[in-house]
Structure 1
Amino acid sequence: MAPKVLISDKLSAAAVQIFKDRGIDVDFQPDLGKDKDKLAEVIGQYDGLAIRSATKVTEKILENATNLKVIGRAGIGTDNIDKEAASKKGVIVMNTPYGNMITTAEHAIAMMFAVARQIPEASASTHAGKWEKSKFMGVELTGKTLGVIGAGNIGGIVCNRALGLKMKVVAYDPFLGEEKAKKMGVEKVELDELLKRADFITLHVPFTEQTANILSAENLAKTKKGVRIINCARGGLVDEQALADLLKSGHVAGAAFDVFKEEPATENPLFNLPNVVCTPHLGAATTEAQENVALQVAEQMSNYLLDGAVENALNMPSMTAEEAKVMGPWVDLAGHLGNFIGQLTDEPINAINILYDGVAADMNQGALNCAVIAGILKKANPDVNLVSAPVVAKERGTQVSTTSQSKGGTFDGYIKVTIVTPERERSCAGTVFSDGKPRFIQIKGINIDAEVGEHMLYTTNEDVPGVIGTLGTTLGENGQNIANFTLGRTATGKQAIALLYLDEKTKPETVKALRDTGLFQQIRPLEFAV
């Protein structure tokens, strides 16, 4: 029997035709996604669900999805899908991360032009029958300095387009290497330097704990007088009220925003201010982009339903069903090792070296590599997945190498991950025990035996008396319970490490209290998806 796919959002006729041409029974109901009760009622009939943003795939929907195998999101954002519930249900979640990059980058450039020449205001004035030629004095882009915050996929395209406009481009991106920056033709700078020099600032980073409010009131105050700020990335990256105040004072000459902290944005401090251009999240809203992502999701879903090929999956690696049975725990381990190193690293990563020993050397290293790289990049790019990770690493100029060896130690097999940055090398290793659970077995060359937990705390210190007691006492005083406590050291009185598995996320006050003791060289809360 042919697989059956439901399209519950507005996808192009060409996407519908792809399913039909591949022999898939497709049911095109573009308004069904708005009726969650009806969707829950019928979803059990389908093997695949193709959506945009209107359909909300909740846990309730998934409970009724007795035959569902794959959800395909035409676009990059998957906030409308309960991915945890989908994973528990065994449903693959796919997206199309590259279909709208050019469109979003072009919108940022268009917004920069619009605010530089006050085009929306001049248009409204002219439509009103006025001829206020002297009122709308703009500025040229040629020769101006563009500060790009986030030089990844979309930010990199913006850099390229800006160079074509004869702008000087400076980029702030902790994960951009110097060599890659040179190839791009941009100058890599720290954030404060960018704020001081840029005539225009454009943001192209995801919304994470690290990037939230990156243009805070404090940072906005450091900007060059007369700066113009463009945000076509995510809401919440800019303190909108602080920006509105600086626009009113004249320190900021203009702003162009496509995204807002609260959406749909019916009220906002930036609304109705002079020389502020606002659009309703149109970054991906072009005919070409919508067509691209629709065609891409139809192809991906067809490939999976007919051939078992997994592409751009957010909750499983690219591998065959047979491989998944054996490799599942090892893929988890690879991701945890990468995530561990990624959460500890704040500088550009020049190289990732992965060693496979014993049984791990005989596995699908492509899938394992993807899991390691995705884990490392997760901190900088939460949207990265097991398929897109190698592409993102390549675009950032990160070299990935692998080594395989026959069983060379106590364990039947293990994986060791080493990253190289301009400042240091950092490594960790792990294995999978007979119970199928991943374990950390080495950090910084120090042998340990640590279970992987959702909430962990990593510390380094000199091996002196009292440190263990201080750790336990400080966590206890802050109401934090330790589920597991692992220690290691290079030698007596030398470098020592501790890895703690906690019952809850490490509190900021706990970190501060530990730091105030002066005993620890490094204190790093860690989070893992387990």
Structure 2
Amino acid sequence: MTKPKVLIADKMDPNAAKIFEDRGCDVDVITGKTPEELIAIIGQYDGLAIRSSTKVTAEILDAATNLKVIGRAGIGVDNVDIPYASSKGVVVMNTPFGNSITTAEHAIALMFALARQIPEANAQTQQGLWPKNGFMGVEVTGKVLGLIGAGNIGSIVASRALGLKMKVVAYDPFLTPERAVEMGVEKVDLEQLLERADFITLHTPLTDETRNILNRDRLAKAKKGVRIVNCARGGLIDEVALKEALDSGHVAGAALDVFAVEPAKESPLFGTPNFICTPHLGASTTEAQVNVALQVAEQMSDFLLTGGVTNALNMPSLSAEEAPKLKPYMALAEKLGSLVSQLAHGNLTEITIERSGAAAELNGKPIEGAVLAGFMRHYSDTVNMVNAPYLAKERGLQVRSVRYEHEGVYHTLLRVTVATSQGPRSVAGTLFGENAPRLVEIFGIGIEADLDGHMLYVVNQDAPGFIGRMGSLMGEAGINIGTFHLGRREAGGEAVLLLSVDQRIPADVIDKASKIEGVKVVKALSF
């Protein structure tokens, strides 16, 4: 087996390269390359590990003909064209938890710096001014901290703030009441947070919904004398509006570690009294830099060697422990998706994926991705589990996923159904011996068959002599038959034949098969 080859394109802890090597990957550490230089070499690599310096553009992705995964050692992936990577079938991972504590601690540090005006006091003291009476701070004890975003970093900030005897309120559309109780915070809407918070910290990604979440109107609604900290993403605060609020005194202080444009060589906030800034240092501790480098190496190695998917931004997570158990299900799912795609006709607008019995207990997202990969393979020759959902969406295909915990005839079952102009068309399959995919139903007719290689699908009227005539036709054409798989609705009724053969069936043979008495449908299949 050829070892996966990984390029580390940005400076990171040397132990990352050692992890790749110890896990069984070949690794090159080549940093500081220009885009043109990277384009010239990227085609030989299966994995690309980066930090923030390397920009993974469409041009680089076009040249990365063997690339399977990009790992960003850190949280932000602004330097990766994720939609284009997805269209190319490349998994994009980050390490969202490696610098969580570091970023949370930086937010707390900036909150204290604002509360006690530490940077200004330090500067004047070092100038020999001894400004003891010039600075009057505030305590944080007993104050209300408002969290905008209560995810991983926000929850760490909350725990530290509670330890400081602060009252914590949180606005996050995804925060459940149960999780709020667990965190020890009060769940509020944004208007309530603005009215009540003495300090506000932001811990949310930058999206169309969160861009300028603290704009001029919302800053005006904030409690007078509020102090604001942002160690999350630049662009969450309208910087011009924040300067106006600082100048007016409505906002007592602000501390930013991130800016809308970085590096921030200039800003309307620079030089404003009661404003503190740092150059995106949230993740800049020795521990965090080591953690994210080691994590990205472990995640990428898992993916390249075992199929495990952790912290991917464009496909479902699949742990290294789950991967072996799900592998046969994903093989079955891909074959069923391929089969229904090859057999169903017309403008297919909806696909339903059902899991029952043991299959219902598994992670459904990878199974769904495998079905779509098989289904979309007949529309694109570069499809895989990563880009299949995007290709399906482009075609306007609606995807539904259903699970049934009860067992039916089979201990475990997958069913794939597409909506057609003639009504729903469904195929189903199971696993024999826990790992052998097997078709068990096609369009309502029970039939047991392996789906592999070249096959011939025939719908015919059940009648004596049909099998002999079909066998004779294959023999005359010099086509060796591997297996016959038969099923029918009832004696003398509609029947299905799945014939596996050793070679692709020529068009003229298919034409002759269609003319055999009783034949309704003939179609060549490939898997």
The interval holding the TM-score normalised by the smaller chain is: 0.5 to 0.7
1:122 maps to a residue whose letter is A
Question: Any idea what SS the aligned residue of 1:106 has?
Answer: helix
> Aligned runs of 1:77-96 on 2, under 5 Å?
77-96=76-95
Match of 1:20 in 2: 21
1:3 Cα offset (Å): 2.3
Task: Output one character per residue of 1:22-47: Cα deviation in whole Å (capped at 9) or x when no partner.
Answer: 23221111222xx1101100112222
Match of 1:366 in 2: 362
Decide which moves more: 57-66 or 4-13.
57-66
Decide which moves more: 266-275 or 156-165.
266-275
Contact 2:198 2:225 in 1 (8 A): yes
1:371 Cα offset (Å): 9.0
Match of 2:507 in 1: none
Task: Output one character per residue of 1:51-109: Cα deviation in whole Å (capped at 9) or x when no partner.
Answer: 11111112221222222222211112222222233233332222212111111111110
Match of 1:283 in 2: 282
> Aligned runs of 1:22-37 on 2, under 5 Å?
22-32=23-33, 35-37=34-36
How many angstroms apart in 1 are the aligned matches of 2:313 and 2:184?
32
2:281 maps to a residue whose letter is L
Match of 1:191 in 2: 190
Distance change >3 Å, CA 327–CA 198, structure 1 → 2 = same
How many angstroms apart in 1 are the aligned matches of 2:32 and 2:81?
20
Task: Output one character per residue of 1:190-237: Cα deviation in whole Å (capped at 9) or x when no partner.
Answer: 222221111111111122222222212111111222111111112222
Decide which moves more: 310-319 or 7-16.
310-319
> Aligned runs of 1:116-265 on 2, under 5 Å?
116-265=115-264
Task: Output one character per residue of 1:283-328: Cα deviation in whole Å (capped at 9) or x when no partner.
Answer: 1121111111100111112222222322222233335666545546
Contact 2:10 2:31 in 1 (8 A): yes
> Aligned runs of 1:67-106 on 2, under 5 Å?
67-106=66-105
2:29 maps to a residue whose letter is F
> Aligned runs of 1:464-479 on 2, under 5 Å?
none
Scaled by the length of structure 2, the TM-score of the pair is 0.64
How many angstroms apart in 1 are the aligned matches of 2:146 and 2:42?
47
How many angstroms apart in 1 are the aligned matches of 2:83 and 2:229?
34
Distance change >3 Å, CA 179–CA 89, structure 1 → 2 = closer
Task: Output one character per residue of 1:430-459: Cα deviation in whole Å (capped at 9) or x when no partner.
Answer: x54589xx99xxxxxxxxxxxxxxxxxxxx
Structure 2 gaps, min length 5: 338-351, 369-385, 387-401, 426-527
Contact 1:407 1:413 in 2 (8 A): no
Alignment of 1:266 onto 2:262: no
1:133 Cα offset (Å): 1.3
Contact 2:147 2:201 in 1 (8 A): yes
Distance change >3 Å, CA 306–CA 116, structure 1 → 2 = same
Match of 2:298 in 1: 299
Match of 1:427 in 2: none
Decide which moves more: 309-318 or 122-131.
309-318
Decide which moves more: 186-195 or 314-323.
314-323
Distance change >3 Å, CA 196–CA 414, structure 1 → 2 = farther
Task: Output one character per residue of 1:378-397: Cα deviation in whole Å (capped at 9) or x when no partner.
Answer: xxxxxxxx9xxxxxxxxxxx
> Aligned runs of 1:321-336 on 2, under 5 Å?
323-324=329-330, 326-327=332-333
Contact 2:144 2:199 in 1 (8 A): yes
How many angstroms apart in 2 are the aligned matches of 1:148 and 1:12?
32
How many angstroms apart in 2 are the aligned matches of 1:327 and 1:294?
34
Structure 1 gaps, min length 5: 332-355, 373-385, 387-400, 416-430, 440-530
How many angstroms apart in 1 are the aligned matches of 2:125 and 2:336?
64
Question: Any idea what SS the aligned residue of 2:228 has?
Answer: strand
1:121 maps to a residue whose letter is E
Contact 1:357 1:404 in 2 (8 A): no
Question: Any idea what SS the aligned residue of 2:147 has?
Answer: strand
2:20 maps to a residue whose letter is F
How many angstroms apart in 2 are the aligned matches of 1:267 and 1:162?
32
1:8 Cα offset (Å): 0.7
Distance change >3 Å, CA 358–CA 70, structure 1 → 2 = closer
Distance change >3 Å, CA 274–CA 9, structure 1 → 2 = same
Distance change >3 Å, CA 368–CA 47, structure 1 → 2 = same
RMSD (Å) for aligned C-alpha atoms? 3.1
Distance change >3 Å, CA 273–CA 327, structure 1 → 2 = farther
Distance change >3 Å, CA 370–CA 276, structure 1 → 2 = farther
How many angstroms apart in 2 are the aligned matches of 1:61 and 1:178?
44
Q: Which structure has the larger Rg over C-alpha atoms?
A: 2
Distance change >3 Å, CA 308–CA 178, structure 1 → 2 = closer
Alignment of 1:61 onto 2:60: yes
Question: Any idea what SS the aligned residue of 1:27 has?
Answer: strand
Question: Any idea what SS the aligned residue of 1:55 has?
Answer: coil
Contact 2:354 2:404 in 1 (8 A): no
